Structure 1
């Protein structure tokens, strides 16, 4: 009390700012780093210009927040160059670019998607709920997304996998916990559908309901076998239906605004592009998004102390 009443008003204001100010950028170009958590999970960040250099302290703060909130939305970023998006991605590790290159991509490691094929790759994210890189030996650890041209409609929908697993009825959860998936033609890698996140230890999922060639049962027990084609189709539909219809209360539906930049913990959230992302320009306007993916460093295993290799029987399903 003495401090506030005994100082000039201008100095009192300075003291209040010093005691309440969040972490700020060293370049001082914008207001301080301000994080606003969403109601259930995820968060928005304001007051940071990703186009400008930031201190190691801020980078570490961002990395912690992405781990904690899983999807972090940076607002009002303007247009972030392809080179700068790559530099931001490298805060989390080396990039791993596996998809088609588009002639208009601003960088070889930036995946450009659109609702017009002359502007970017089309149909991306519309084959089912998934994480990025499920076909990799180690799925991508993180993804970044930057909107370049904002349509009137075209949300990206995210779901927190830890909470999804917890919400499952007991019989369904036990069924999913026995499953291993073998991905599409690009890989013969096999992963458990449910496993422990390599950084947090939380239960999470490795899955892609539209790009799975085969499912297997009980890889780590003598009862291991391949699901039949019919069983595989039914199980994949069960997973897709769960994400489409049963967990709406857990989803975060991101309606894109000009300048939005998202960093996600790819191993902790499933996602899908909404149908509106592919509506014609005449209806919603041009949509252009730039995405990067960061290499993972751990193969999904139910027990990370024991490496799990793909069984020959499951590999033959390709």
Structure 2
């Protein structure tokens, strides 16, 4: 019996794929009250997700008080943007390191004089962007990244935006019958669909031994806010454990589509020397690949996370 047969589509105004009207957009965890920021100014880009920070120079040391306010802003807005930050890779690394141990990505090759913690995205007429799929970073790891810091070094004259989506909002707005269905389910996450095209067959087999598919909950509890977030993505999530293949695929495709809803998203237009800092536990992102053959160059540093529960 298929997922759609067992769980028929609800009536129009209960079906969140075709829902018309206001959605539940809860930015703060239940019981948390809005508080002012005293060490910088914040400009929300949507009511739910994404805010620009001004009054912070990432070349300067971050005090403990500033760290606390920035961390609170990150948890509340999920992705923060800092414009006009002429910083080096070393300064970017120092900022990211404040939030924890830094990870080394297993699949991207380093260029000459590149820090080992840096993933460099150099896109041009020879190498078009292929990050245009909704994903959370490295969910194929046992401990997916906690957060990431991305710096745009070169931007195309037009295009090359990035979108982020609040996956707690995606979960909040699921029909109750879907929430009940996915409660307690786990899914397999595998790097192979996303990275096999850049590996030789020998290297692929080696990396599959090193990074076998890992099982994560379909609904994750955020370790700092306590929010429930939808934790499946089309880049790495391949199968829901315990379901027949057809039912797993139908349910996954339904859950993947929740990231497509504009009310849960922020779309950011880059300028040179802008830095984005996002909570990888609470969001997914999508890099729009509409700028070929113009160049776009960025560096990302990711912070090691904990095992989802």
User: TM-score per shorter chain, which class?
Assistant: 0.7 to 0.9
Structure 2 residue runs of 5 or longer lacking an equivalent are 1-35, 191-207
Shift of 1:231: 2.8
Whole-Å Cα distance in 2 between the matches of residues 233 and 105 of structure 1? 43
Q: Which residue of 1 aligns with 2:292?
A: 280
- The number of aligned residues is 252
Select which of 226, 234, 249 maps to 2:250: 234
Cα contact 2:129–2:289 (8 A) shared by 1: no
Whole-Å Cα distance in 2 between the matches of residues 232 and 273 of structure 1? 27
Say if 1:210 and 1:39 are closer, same or farther in 2 by CA, change over 3 A: closer
Whole-Å Cα distance in 2 between the matches of residues 124 and 140 of structure 1? 20
| Secondary structure in 1 matching 2:180 | helix
Q: Which residue of 2 aligns with 1:270?
A: 284
**Structure with max Cα Rg:** 1
Shift of 1:153: 0.3
| Secondary structure in 2 matching 1:275 | coil
Q: Deviations over 1:168-205 (max 9, x none)?
A: 22233333334311111433321111021111111113
Select which of 74, 82, 90 maps to 1:83: 90
Cα contact 1:133–1:140 (8 A) shared by 2: yes
Select which of 274, 286, 304 maps to 1:295: 304
Structure 1 residue runs of 5 or longer lacking an equivalent are 1-19, 24-32, 217-224, 302-318
Shift of 1:137: 1.3
Q: Which residue of 1 aligns with 2:267?
A: 253
Cα contact 2:151–2:276 (8 A) shared by 1: yes
CA RMSD of aligned residues (A): 2.3
Which TM-score applies when normalising by structure 1? Answer: 0.72
Cα contact 1:148–1:288 (8 A) shared by 2: yes
Q: Deviations over 1:205-235 (max 9, x none)?
A: 322212223211xxxxxxxx2x233333323
Select which of 231, 237, 255 maps to 1:212: 237
Q: Deviations over 1:139-171 (max 9, x none)?
A: 111111111111110111111111111112223
User: In the TM superposition, what are the counterparts of 1:3-82 in structure 2 within 5 Å?
Assistant: 22-23=38-39, 33-41=40-48, 42-78=50-86, 80-82=87-89
Select which of 173, 177, 182 maps to 1:176: 182
| Higher RCO (CA < 8 A, seq sep 6+) | 2
Whole-Å Cα distance in 2 between the matches of residues 107 and 230 of structure 1? 43
| Secondary structure in 2 matching 1:83 | helix
User: Is residue 2:203 matched to residue 1:195?
Assistant: no
Whole-Å Cα distance in 2 between the matches of residues 62 and 95 of structure 1? 18
Q: Which residue of 1 aligns with 2:26?
A: none
Whole-Å Cα distance in 2 between the matches of residues 113 and 180 of structure 1? 32
Say if 1:269 and 1:21 are closer, same or farther in 2 by CA, change over 3 A: closer
Cα contact 1:158–1:251 (8 A) shared by 2: yes
